[in-house]
Structure 1
């Protein structure tokens, strides 16, 4: 009987997520700019191509501070799992460093 209740509770908590073909293809991004206010974080995913002075924002995600923290924790967890499986990620040395300002407080990833 208790197992039936657990299964019923799990079904009630289950979220159905739809992934369209267009979204499933994904968008390539090699630069992210992060800005925030007291109520939201804005993450712009950008494609920066060599030799082209103009980069395009390919996607903008706006989220609450609480969700931004959960995203950070999920990324940390996934990076740890990745490094256990494939070895340490040696990144960040070639990240672009130039002034970019879209207004507000900025971060870079």
Structure 2
């Protein structure tokens, strides 16, 4: 039985000098039969247009391998720094600000 070709561990990578880091607090994930598409956005309060700043397209196999690697890294992070808490219940002011993604949506009562 042959094993599939795998890229060598520790693939050399170079960070371009002109690469600007980008913070994203929203990702939209969609797919076709042959690709997964991850659109990364930074949503800020009172911002009317939320532009996609980065789009990553992956094969289904690549997406599943990414999911596995990401889950392993989250587990290592939590082992070192403690469990990441996901807020429950009333989202508070930040939740009210970020809940309205569509600019034409009416504001909540009291604004």
Could you tell me the TM-score, scaled by structure 2's length? 0.67
Structure 1 unaligned regions, length at least 5: 1-12, 101-109
Q: Counterparts of 1:62 and 1:78 in 2: how far apart (Å)?
A: 21
CA deviation string 1:26-54 (max 9, x = no partner): 11100000010110000000010112132
- For 1:18, the equivalent position in structure 2 comes to 14
- What does residue 36 of structure 1 align with? 31
Tell me the CA shift for residue 65 of structure 1.
Answer: 0.4
- CA RMSD across the alignment: 2.4
Higher strand share: 1
Q: 4+ residue stretches of structure 1 with deviation over 3 A? A: 92-100
For structure 2, list consecutive stretches of 5 or more residues without a partner in the other structure.
1-7, 103-111
- Counterpart for residue 45 of structure 2: 50
TM-score, structure 1 normalization: 0.68
Aligned residues: 88
